[in-house]
Chains A and B, each alone.
Chain A
Amino acid sequence: MDRRHFLKTSLAALLAFFFGGKINALPQKPGMKEALYYRSPDSLAG
């Protein structure tokens, strides 16, 4: 395996392990698009 590729993928795996939730917070999957009609927490009463 190419050494540079190995290092890059290992680093990505480590980052994903420790910060997975945050790094992957933004949706990247096909089919995902922000909806046009909803109320965010700031505007919700109670």
Chain B
Amino acid sequence: MKKIECTLCPRHCKLAQGQRGDCRVRTNVDGKLFSLVYGNPCAVHVDPIEKKPVFHMLPGTNAFSIATAGCNLHCLYCQNWEISQSPPEETRNATLSPENVVAQAGANNCRSIAYTYSEPIVFYEYTLDTARQAREKDIKNIIVTAGYIEQDPLLELCKVTDAASVNLKGITDDFYKRMCNATLKPVQDALLTMKKQGVWVEIINLVIPTWNDSDDDIRALARWVKENMGKDTPLHLSRFWPMHKLQNLPPTPESTLSRAWDISKAEGLDYVYVGNIPDHPGNNTQCPSCRRIILKRYGYQILENHLNNGKCGYCQVPIPGIWS
């Protein structure tokens, strides 16, 4: 029997009968491609929206968060490798239909559903069906993704996505090849498409000692974000923690993150954040006009909120995001 070709992500896996894609969750059954994880999440939690992280959308609310097994990237430092690098047979899975996800989100007072932890692109059909039903119930959708997806499926997903937390892992093709066995351009293209389609985008960059933490790396990343996504696109610089296959490195020093924070702001980005260090001043949202703290955070907690109908409560300058 002939092979079929998955066209969901740039890998374009060509699969013979019974073979699985690189993501471990799509397979060829008699010439048809099937998802193996539809309605079977291996992780279901209620999280603060700040954990995604999404800082410019409904602060202080909860996001009903789901994930299935599998991922189409294989980052050496993956923080959730137990589920992302496993086939569904090796994870403990619940049975939760899209209807039930939406119902559970409502029952848990969640104003959004986050498709997160592993990679929503590989549970695309489940994400899409759930997101469509969430929209009908006035629940917002957040995808937390590496953005390694083809344009056609992305355009369809954008129709029901309110916000995306996109991990731009590095700013060189070499980094993507060596760290993730992937390429940079599809991720940049996905970011541009999301912005063009009106999805609220926040960019995450895990700052890894010796891999992407030089001044030049940080500057190049911040410049790309400013020139292509706009200076009001939030950039989260997150602390790396030794995990999976990169346990030989130390956690990112706080001084490195502070330096990256300074460089990114100096490049002209209005909203630069520092992640995974709860008491760092980079957790707060500062008004780019009057420089006062509008949203004061400790980690995922909101300590003070001085937003007023999407504007700075002090100088009334509009702050971009989804606030209601």
Interface residues of A (CB under 8 A from B): 25-27, 29-41, 44
| Top-9 shortest CB links A-B | A41-B2, A33-B38, A38-B33, A31-B40, A35-B33, A39-B5, A37-B8, A37-B7, A32-B34
Instruction: Using CB atoms, name the residue of chain B closest to A38.
Output: B33
Would you call B152 an interface residue if the criterion is a C-beta within 8 Å of the partner chain's C-beta atoms? yes
How distant is B210 from chain A, measured CB to nearest CB, in Å?
37
Main secondary structure of the interface of A (DSSP, over half): loop
Residues of B within 8 A of A31 (CB): 35-40, 88, 93
Q: How large is the interface on B (under 10, 10 to 19, 20 to 34, 35 or more residues)?
A: 20 to 34
Instruction: Tell me which of A25, A35, A37, A38 has the highest count of chain B C-beta atoms within 10 A of its own C-beta.
Output: A35
Task: Tell whether, in the assembled complex, residue B40 and residue A30 are in contact, meaning their CB atoms are under 8 Å apart.
Answer: yes
Instruction: Using CB atoms, name the residue of chain A closest to B150.
Output: A37
Out of B1, B5, B38, which one reaches A38, CB within 8 Å?
B5
Task: Tell whether, in the assembled complex, residue B34 and residue A40 are in contact, meaning their CB atoms are under 8 Å apart.
Answer: no
Out of B3, B35, B88, which one reaches A35, CB within 8 Å?
B35
A-B residue pairs in contact (CB < 8 Å), sample of 5 = A29-B36, A32-B29, A38-B8, A44-B2, A44-B5
Residues of B within 8 A of A26 (CB): 29-30
Task: Tell whether, in the assembled complex, residue A30 and residue B39 are in contact, meaning their CB atoms are under 8 Å apart.
Answer: yes
> In residues 12-60 of chain B, which contact A (Cβ within 8 Å)?
26, 29-40
Residues of B within 8 A of A30 (CB): 39-40, 95
When A31-B37, A31-B38, A31-B93 are in contact, do A37 and B4 touch as well, CB less than 8 Å?
no
Instruction: Tell me which of B1, B8, B32, B40 has the highest count of chain A C-beta atoms within 10 A of its own C-beta.
Output: B32
